[in-house]
Structure formats: C-alpha cells, structure tokens
Chains A and B, each alone.
Chain A
Amino acid sequence: MKQFSRLHPVVLFFYFCAALGVTMFCLNPAVQIISLGGALLLNLIVDGKPKKRRFLPLLMIPLGGLLNPVFSHHGQTILFFLNNNPVTLQAIYYGLNMGGTACAVLFWLSCFTQIMSSDKLLCVFGRFSPKLALMLSLILRFVPLLGRRSRESREALQAIGLFREDNFFWKLRSRVRVFFAVATSALENGIIAADSMEARGYSVGRRTAYSVFHFSWADGVFAFVSAAALGVVLIVLRAMQLDFYPTVTLKGSPVACGVGLAAFALLCLLPGALQGIAGLVRKRNIRRSLAYGKEAETA
C-alpha cells in the first residue's frame, strides 16, 4: 500500500483536478458536504497538527447564507422583508451552498499546496513539455537569487554612502540605484548561465525530462479507481444538479443522483483513507522491522 502523498505526481494532479472540478461545477449540497469532508480529512492527516486558523474558511458557509439573501430575492418561501426586499429561504440555501463550495475548494487547494511540491509539479509539466519544466526550474532558481542580490546590493551601496533614506528624494534615488545594480548583474551574469547551458548540450536536440518519481502498480490502481469514480459522476452529473429557484428541486432521478453521490464519496474519501491507513500500516511495519533487529541482538 502506498500513501496518497507518495503517489506519482501525474496521478495526484489528475486527482486534484477531478475533485476540484466536480466540487466547483456541481450544485448540490450533498456534493459539497462530501467534498468538504474528504478535503478536511486529508488536511488533518497530512498536516498532523493543524493550527486553529486553518479552519477559518469554514466561516464562509454561514457568511454565504447571510449575504446571498441580501442580494438575491428569488425563491418562493418568503421569510420576512428587509428594507422592503423579500428574504427567501431558497436564497439562504443557495448562499449556504455557495459558501460550502468555496470552502471545499479552499481546503482541496490547501491539500494541493501541501502535497504537490515544486518537484512534483515540475514532473507533471515535464510530461507535457520538458522545455516548460526546465523553464520553471530556471525561474525557481532565479527568483530567490534576485532577492538575495538586491539585499547584497543595498548593503553594499549603503556602506559606501549611496543608499540613504534621509528624505523622499534620496529614498527614490537609492531604490533606483539598487534596481539598476541588480538588473545589471542579472543581465551580465545571465551570459554565464547561458554559456553554462550551452556547454552542457542545451541545443543538442530533443530534451527528455528526468524525474525522480516512478510509476508503480499502486499508482495505476489508484488512477483507475478514481478515473472510474469520476466517470460515473460525470455520466450522472446533470441528474445530480439542484435547482434552487423558485423551489429547491432535483433535476434528475433520485436513483441516478444517489449513484453519483456514492461514486463521488468514494472519490473524495479515497485519499484520506489511503493516507491514514497506509500511514498506520507503515508505522506498524517500521516498528516490527526495528523490533526484529532487537530480538536478534538479545537472542
């Protein structure tokens, strides 16, 4: 068994696209609840000890419920009037649903940033275009370098009296100076980088993109299961949509919707379950393997 976060980056990327896509384009509170549950579960397992402010986005749900009826006055069931405008039950439902969608998307994105390191993202892009992956890698190298250079230049200019913050005029002049120093160094030293790339065969011909990730059977199984679940959801997607106005009604048959929700639940809960269970199994196996060594010592 392989932990979710250790799956092949392409599989992970596909998975996040699927989960996010369905969450965003399916208007159905059950979908949002399932999605939110899956994302929260994964978040808790990946993060270990999440801080309280991590859960702040949950406030978006009541906020949506409060705000939507102020702007939208559709819906049949009028609860009361606010400034001569009707506040309807359906508008509240819709607002809660929108808040839920936004919240679920945020939690999925939070999982995404925690799991998809720059290495993994570059592996995904490398599949499409090795040149693009290289370009991104160059940028990842270059941006922190520029930051450090500008700090160095600022210090150097300050210590020969060319960076002063006495008044607005000096401030502006000093900043411009640092900018030019950094720009010059970036351009001039860029020539060295170009030579270094050329000397290592940059223009030989078609590049390949090397990555440290292997595609194993576990990746295949996970990809297959999640693709199948996504397939089912997509087939019945229309049936799963809700109309909120004038009354809350299901567009398709309840059976189709039920099948879709079951498939979506499988899709959303899979990573959390896999991460948790595989993590526990791994921990137990490690403990067993360490104990084995100790037994041999005492024997």
Chain B
Amino acid sequence: MSFLKAENLSFTYPDGTCALHSANFDIDEGDFVTVFGKTGSGKTTLLRQFKPQILPNGTQGGTLTMSGRALASLTEREALGAVGFVFQNPEEQIVTDKVWRELAFAPESAGLPQGEIRRRISEIAGYFGMEEWFDKKTDELSGGQKQLLNLASVMVMNPAVLVLDEPTAFLDPIAAADFIAVLKKLNRETALTVILAEHRLEELIPVSDKLLVTEDGSVKYFGETRDVCRRCGAEYTAFLPAAARLFHALGETGDCPLSIKEGRSFIRKYKNNIPPEAEQKALKAAPALEWKDVRFRYGEKTPDVLRGVSLTVNEGELFCLLGGNGSGKSTALKAAAGLLLPYEGSVKVFGKPLKKYKNGSLYRSCLTYLPQNVQTVFAHDTVREELEEVGADLTELPLDWSKLLDRHPYDLSGGEQQLTALAKALAAKPKLLLLDEPTKGLDALAKKTLGDILLHLKQNGVTIVCVTHDAEFAAAYADRCALFFRGEAVGDDTPRAFFSENRFYTTAANRMARGHFDGVITVEQAAEVCRKNGRGDA
C-alpha cells in the first residue's frame, strides 16, 4: 500500500467553482515530489489538501489518505505531527519577535512541557545550523535565514510529510540553492516525504524523484521525473531545466537530460564545425543615466555600500545590473531614482544632474522606479481602482486585462502583480524605467510575458534598467549587463561577452555549451547552432 494516496480528490468553493477535480496519485514514503503548472492551475489548492486546517471554505471530495487514514479525519494534534506546511512569503509567516520563540511556537501550541520543548528546539537549531542567530530578533534575519527558520519551526514537530508552497520564490539564487540543499538533506537523511510546488525548477528537477504537473485544476502529468520531462507537452517545456529544454527544442527522443552534466554530454553528440553566429554590436546613443563616482553609506560609521559606482546606460537600452546580495546594486538603483542622496559623486538623468529636477518633476514624464516588493504601491481594493487612480493607459501593455480588473491586487499571482504595478508606473509616461528584481517569484511563462512587454516598451523608446539575480532573463533580454561587486560596477558588456567570460555567474545554457560551442548563452542559441551542425553520430 502506498504512503500517500489520492483517489478522485476534488475541491469545490462555496460558489460552485471547482478548483481541483478528480486528482489521483500515489506518493511513497521518502519521495521528493515537485509540483508545477501555470499560474492558477490549482497548485496551491492541491497542496492545501494535505493540511485540512488551512483549507479555505469549500468542500473536499474523494479521499486523500496517509498510511490508510484519511488526512481530513486526523485530530488537530495528530495533524500537527503528520504534515508540516511552509508558505511562500518568508516575512509574513513569521509571527513572533525572536528566533527561539518562533521555534517554540508549534510545541507550545501542542502544550508540550518545558523540558521537552527545550530539547526539541535545541536539536532542531543544531541540525539547521542556527546557533549563531538563535537569540536574534526575527526582524534582523536575511531572507534565506527567515525561510530556514520557517522550515525549522515546522520540522520541530517532526512531521512525516513536509509540504511547501513555492518556498524559494522570494529568495535570491544562492539562498534558494541552499534551501533546496537543506530540503534534500532532510529527505535523504530522515526519509522525510517532501512535496513542493515551485517556479524555479532548474536545480530542483534534477533532485526530484517524481513530478506532478497541474492544469486547470486537475493532474495533467504524474510520474518519475525523467519520464515526465520526456513526455510533457510543448506548453510545459518552458518550465524544464535548460538541458531538457534543449532536448525538446531539438525534437529528440530517448533519455531526456536533466542536469548540466547530462546536458554537456548531450550537446557533445552534435558536431561543432559551424560556430555560433556573431553578435551585433550595440549602437552608440546619448546617455540616459549616468552614475559618476557615486558613494553612499546607510549609517555614519558603517562601511560604504556604494564605493565609487561609475556606469553609463544609453538611451534605448535594456540594461541589467547583476550581482550577489549586498553588492550594492539595489542601492545604486535607488540612488538613480532619487530616493537616496549619495554623499559623493553625481547621478545624471538624460544629461541633467538629479538635484536639478525640482519639486518631483523627475517623476513626471521622466523616470519611474518599481521596488522589489511591488505590493507597496497597491492601496485599493481592485485592480481597476489602482489603475484609475493614476489614469493608466491599458492599451500600452499588450495584455488581456479583462480577467484582472475586478480582483484584489493581493489576490493576483506574482506575475500579474508585477504587471499591474508596471501599468501603474507607466501611467506617468516615463522615458526611463528602473525595475528592482522584476522577475522575482515569476514562473517561466510570466517571465516571458514580462520580457516581451519590456522589449515592446524599449521599441517605443523607453530606456530600461533592471536589477536582477536572474542570469537567464538578462541573457535573453538585455542589451548590456554589468556586475556589481562590493559596491562597484565592473565588467559592463553585451550579455554574450559578459556571460561567456564568466564561469560561475552565467546561464545554464552557457555552462552546458562551454568548450563545445563558445559564446552560446541561451537555450535557443544552443538549439540553433546544434541544428546547423547536425548530430555527429547520425
């Protein structure tokens, strides 16, 4: 008998809309299952079936059993030890002020005695390497630490199944990889069953045992990872890792490569007589945004965050600023948006120093900036009111707004929120658009929509500067990229030159093709050059 078994599982809201219907799957103990699907395809509804305590109002149909017992029939106390649930937003699911109090929350709720709680939270903090920040305030933690704390404060009850709803969406790539490594360690060392929905699948799919793909509230594909990757339809290939995308783009059959390593040997089945096409040089244009020796620090005695940033973005460019956490890229963008005053150096927008823009004229028909958390610009109950407030012109964004207008901005998916905020920002008709991490928490399709909209804006003469961690996005859409390191901008260049010179900070396609086809940075380019060369063994 399988460990977790869903038979005809369905979920219907009180108004009759069916969010999940006739889902069937078996999960064995110790399986690592990754769930993905388009926005609104029912991933979250499916995951919440495992934790009846947090199901929205509605009726569940069919059965979901764990070792033969229906999960819905467990008492609250039993459910606490059976299934742990981690949510997407690291910030909002932390409820107490101190790290150790957060860890103690679940055992306190279960009414465990002092000694037992002490033992449990000490053990868990040791296992997760939290000793250093055990006494800290939850407010002082980094995003990665916050999400690790959320995981630990669920694992403290030692659940048999761990369910996570897009836990790395808000993390930078390094913190996300660390988080997944911890999950995999838990899974390997304690045979913990992990069920995880995620957008960022490049590193996740190669370590998953099974994949589950949702579509319109039902289970479209379920099975072994490699098998699902091979047979999934064209509309899902965008979600797959670069190696599998290349496999599909070339219309191959047989074993589907998943990891970079497998991708490298896959790509070497092709001859490499014809090199990839050379890139067109960017045209010289007038500068739209210039940082000149900009220095800034947050406190009187703290070290400089910007240590002499000098960089020029030309008119009509889509420029990406990449770099690790704390490298100063977001601060540099805020300085360009006039939200910070550098203590040395100057920022010029369209050749005019920032301080010459008086009385907010900077933000009228000149420049707009969107922060990482776009929710901060929402203040109304519907998208319609948000957009009417600023008189946004919806025809500018090639998108179907009809479904979104009457919804609450907070109920939208990450991608839809980003686009709504963008529409709000574009109402001021900026010539320079500054975006901080616009692809954060977006799935592959939403990223493509956003990227295409940015290209459309660029064609209409808008200069765009993005801060991003997303090398794939920068490789596909940027005209030029620069790397931030310790408060300085280094190595600004075209994406191809930029990423093919980097060895670690580069795209998956480049890592696979390096040595065989140099200068390839996207899967599309790799597929094209492979097609031209043809297979060596054919």
Contacts and interface: CB of A to CB of B under 8 A. Distances in A.
A207 interface: yes
Contacts of B371: 152, 155-156, 159
A192 B154 CA distance: 15
Contacts of B104: 210
Nearest to A153: B376
Interface in A192-220: 192-193, 195-212
A199 B53 contact: yes
A140 B97 contact: yes
B100 A212 contact: yes
Contacts of B110: 201, 204
Nearest to A154: B376
Contacts of A140: 96-97
Contact of A159 (B93, B370, B408): B370
Interface stretch (A7-15, A180-188, A236-244): A180-188
B109 A207 contact: yes
A188 B89 CA distance: 12
A193 B92 contact: yes
B360 A166 contact: yes
Nearest to B81: A201
B95 A208 contact: no
Interface in B119-144: 121, 138-139
Contact of B93 (A144, A155, A177, A196): A196
Given A152-B376, A205-B111, A208-B114, A160 B97 contact: no
A157 B421 CA distance: 11
Interface string B339-374: 100000000000000000001100110011111011
A2 interface: no
A205 B79 CA distance: 13
Contact of B108 (A130, A152, A177): A130
Interface in B420-458: 424-425, 427-428, 434
Contacts of A149: 376
A192 B93 contact: yes
Contacts, number: 178
Contacts of A160: 363, 368-370, 377, 390, 424-425, 427-428
Contacts of A192: 87, 89, 92-93
A295 to B, nearest CB: 30
A23 B106 CA distance: 42
Interface string B71-93: 00000110110001101010111
A138 B96 CA distance: 5
A126 to B, nearest CB: 9
B480 interface: no
A181 B94 CA distance: 21
B369 A204 contact: no
A157 B93 CA distance: 25
A200 B109 contact: yes
A159 B111 contact: no
Contacts of A185: 375-376, 378, 410
A253 interface: no
A157 to B, nearest CB: 6
B380 A180 contact: yes
Nearest to A196: B93
A212 B125 CA distance: 14
Nearest to A212: B100
B535 interface: no
Contact of B376 (A130, A156, A199): A156
Contacts of B368: 159-161
B376 A161 contact: no
Interface string B140-158: 0000000000100110010
A162 B95 CA distance: 31
Nearest to A161: B363
Contacts of A203: 53, 76, 109
A204 B80 contact: yes
Interface in A228-286: none
A207 B425 contact: no
Contacts of B359: 164, 166
A40 to B, nearest CB: 30
Contacts of B364: 161
Given A156-B376, A205-B111, A207-B111, A200 B80 contact: yes
A294 interface: no
A189 B92 CA distance: 6
A181 B139 contact: no
A132 interface: no
A141 B77 contact: no
B379 A181 contact: yes
Given A155-B339, A161-B364, A192-B92, A208 B111 contact: yes
A199 to B, nearest CB: 4
A201 B80 contact: yes
A166 to B, nearest CB: 6
A257 to B, nearest CB: 44
A200 B360 contact: no
A47 interface: no
B271 interface: no
A137 interface: yes
A204 B117 contact: no
Contacts of A208: 107-108, 111-114, 117
Contact of B111 (A145, A188, A189, A206): A206
A24 interface: no
B51 interface: yes
B54 A137 contact: no
A158 interface: yes
Nearest to A119: B98
A196 B154 CA distance: 10
A181 B53 contact: no
Contacts of A114: none
A102 interface: no
Contacts of B374: 156
10 contacts: A140-B96, A141-B95, A185-B376, A189-B92, A200-B105, A200-B109, A200-B153, A201-B106, A208-B114, A210-B108
Given A161-B368, A201-B110, A210-B114, 4 more contacts: A204-B109, A208-B112, A208-B113, A210-B121
7 closest A-B pairs by CB: A161-B363, A159-B369, A196-B93, A201-B109, A140-B97, A180-B379, A156-B376
